[in-house]
A and B are shown apart, each in its own frame.
Chain A
Amino acid sequence: MVPETEGKVEKTMILTPQQQEIQRLAREFTEKNIIPVAGEYDRSGEFPEFIINKAKEAGLLDMAIPKQFGGRGLDAVTQGIVLEEIGYGCAAFATIIGVSILGFCPVMLAGTDEQKKFYLDPVVQGGLAAFALTEPGAGSDVGAAKTTARKEGNEYLLNGSKCFITSGGYAKVFTIFALTDPTKGVRGLSAFLVKAGQPGLIVAKHENKLGIRGSNTVELLIQDLRVPASQLLGKEGDGMKIAMGSLDITRPMIGAQSVGIAQRALDECLKYFQNKYPDPRKLGQAAQFRLAEMRIQTEAARQTVRHALAVRDAGLPYTVESAIAKTMGSDTAMRVATDALELLGAHGYSHDCVVEKLVRDAKIQQIYEGTNQVQRLVIAGQLMASIQPQAQAAKAGR
């Protein structure tokens, strides 16, 4: 796929030798373990537990966990490279791995060392983490959450429900967001660390989705779930900050897997034309330009995503870069995948070809972890904050 090794020196300058090596390993893993079975899991909608175990052995599940907690401690750029490769094979697998990272971001951001050990050990041992924020009435509007956490002595009693929870049926650990003070909206939101299998944490309906069908998406019922106070992250009311900080980290990861989808769509077109034409260079100019456009978009998205991740690795603020990377990546995946479907016609529309799956898988990238409308709110919000009302500007002597 990505011809990063072509033209050797020039194009490999961007990635370090270590990053290139990990890219190679992720690509091999994808080719060997994911691409051959992705279609099967897409059709059945079953959870690919077997492959996830292999991913654990390959060190893909704990790549974002620091070495001191037993993980591989890869930098953000490298994590993105891995997710792009996995996304190239199947976005459902990339989602499982990426959302597990989202699940443990809260403890990484706000947890004590003790809490980190409590929560990250199961992940290092091969378990998945889940992030339980969304509710039926609270999607983009996080503050409309209805799940509550009432303090009773040295523990909290959680009640409510969550929906669209990725890997909810298989995760070993959950971060659950609940209102410790329902009168305060988002300022009353708190984050709790919960291990799977607790009484009161009930996995309900599994969602039958258009795409990323191999990933498990469930409704969670929370009924008198008792959580020790020691499993509250930070302090009461920190939930919104923790949730948004976590999403800032993983949004470029969505961008990265989206770039994988786009690259795959382009490669599938080339593969098809190679098989269809004795001399593929005879392809008309209109089709050639379309392919070139797909390449332009994909490359622009790839660099945008890597840049956002590099900004994070550099320790700089990256909220806006993160929102841009998610939007740019997912919009590109969608556009390139639909271009591929149009170029491949009836072949692309049938299950003879992976392109229709790429189209279905691409769509969720524009929706989850904050719709692209929410990303634009974030980006516009920062722009609006950078310009002042005229009265204030005059006061400031401008």
Chain B
Amino acid sequence: MSYPFTEDQQLIRKNARDFAQQYLEPLAVPLDKSGDFPAEAVRKMAEHDFLGWFLPAAYGGAEVGYLSYVLGVEELSRASAAVASIVVNHAAAAYAINRWGTAEQKQKYLPEMAKGRQLGAVAMAEPGPAVGEGPEAVVAAKQGDRFVLKGRKSYVANAGVADVYVVFACTDAAAGAKSMTAFVVDAKAAGLAVGPKKTTMGLRGRPTADVVFDNTPADVLGDGNGGAAIALELLAVTGVAEAAQTVGVVAAAVEHAAKYSQQRIQFGRPIGAFQAIQALLAEVATNCHVARLAVYDAANLIERGEPFTAEAAMVKIFAQRLGMKSLLDTMQVEAGYGYSEEMLMAKLFRDVSGTTILENPLDFPEKLVAASIA
């Protein structure tokens, strides 16, 4: 790959890779088995400034730019997509506060988040068909000069371990999604309850749970305008980081399968000598390469502050094609052994499926791409 990385970007990647190999690789399988939150690994990542990668130095961040951040996420994900996912969800909340928060909010949260003393989460999806719809929709009601939230958010990543939630809620139940507003809510705020931890197919160790608000005081994020646009941008930038996670897992999987194909002998030669196996590996490696370039390009646009809506949507679309499909192929190379939970491939398969999930699967990113070329 001839992508023109800066020295800083190369250094971030190397640091993340070294860390991932040293700390995350040994941890990844036990973490998958126990599903317990990897507090120690998160603490170590905080020491390495991984939790404030793109945050401004003024708030204690590493201020490395979005592309470097994405390179770091890819490397962490190679070793443990669950740990990378904790970082990505934390970073999404930090991104929102940094981008749209008031000076006061930034000062209050970002230094803590940059150093990992506080973890973030974003709460968007609801049990109903869309934000603001359905009997349990989260509704924000004005009480004096502040808001209180009531309702349920579902499948919130980092729920329970987060100290601060960025919550999207409607201020006018009748207006629905049009009145969507972003809020910042302290995890300790009155009336905030985290539901039982969900068991997920993969990404185990990254908590997922419902978050229920019962007259929970909430701060409007920034000036309170354009909640829907904020949600859209936040999903787009987070989607690029998630696609980097997908790329990381697929890269690990195709390496593993290629190695296996050299070692597994059938019909008197390594199965890697058969065209049918080469075709599987080449398909995965090709898609991974193309996806990686698209991810870097979108991250670069984000970093430079250029329009990225269509590119980020394309990345999200392509990551869905890459993820499960690739792992089904790499597992096919390893066949019965790949299917065993005692080998790595089964875990990688369960993990990759979690990296390509859409926040609202019925809100197809295709429409953003189509709009961009209309």
Contact = CB atoms under 8 A, between A and B. Distances in A.
Interface in B257-303: 265-267, 276-277
A210 B346 contact: yes
B11 interface: no
Contacts of B154: 346-347
Nearest to B277: A373
A347 B155 contact: yes
Contacts of B360: 345
Interface stretch (A69-77, A103-111, A133-141, A168-176): A133-141
B354 interface: yes
B365 to A, nearest CB: 10
B340 A276 contact: no
A187 interface: no
B357 A210 contact: no
Given A209-B341, A341-B324, A134 B336 contact: yes
A367 B335 contact: yes
Nearest to A344: B361
B48 interface: no
Contacts of B331: 363, 367
Interface stretch (B142-150, B164-172, B195-203): B195-203
B359 A276 contact: no
B125 A208 contact: no
A179 interface: no
A376 B276 contact: yes
Interface string A185-215: 0000000000000000000000111110000
User: What does DSSP make chain B's interface, helix, strand, loop or mixed?
Assistant: mixed
A341 to B, nearest CB: 6
B208 interface: yes
Interface string A273-307: 00011100011101100000000000000000000
Interface stretch (A46-54, A119-127, A225-233, A348-356): A348-356
Interface in A129-171: 134, 137-141, 143-144, 163-164
A363 B339 contact: yes
Interface residues of A, number: 50
A143 B267 CA distance: 8
A372 interface: yes
B335 A210 contact: no
Contact of B128 (A137, A276, A343): A276
A117 interface: no
A278 B133 CA distance: 10
A296 B63 CA distance: 50
Contact of A342 (B198, B277, B358): B358
Given A140-B266, A277-B129, A356 B353 contact: yes
Given A164-B336, A363-B328, A368-B336, A343 B349 contact: no
Contacts of A211: 339
Nearest to B336: A164
B134, B339, B357, B364: residue with the most chain A Cβ atoms closer than 10 Å: B339
Given A210-B339, A341-B353, A347-B155, A352 B328 contact: no
B362 interface: yes
11 contacts: A138-B266, A209-B341, A210-B339, A211-B339, A276-B134, A287-B364, A343-B361, A346-B208, A349-B200, A350-B201, A352-B198
Interface of B: 125, 127-129, 134, 154-155, 198-202, 208, 265-267, 276-277, 320, 324-325, 328, 331-332, 335-336, 338-342, 346, 349-350, 353-354, 356-362, 364, 366-367
Interface of A: 134, 137-141, 143-144, 163-164, 207-211, 276-278, 282-284, 286-287, 334, 338, 341-352, 356, 359-360, 363-364, 366-368, 371-373, 376-377
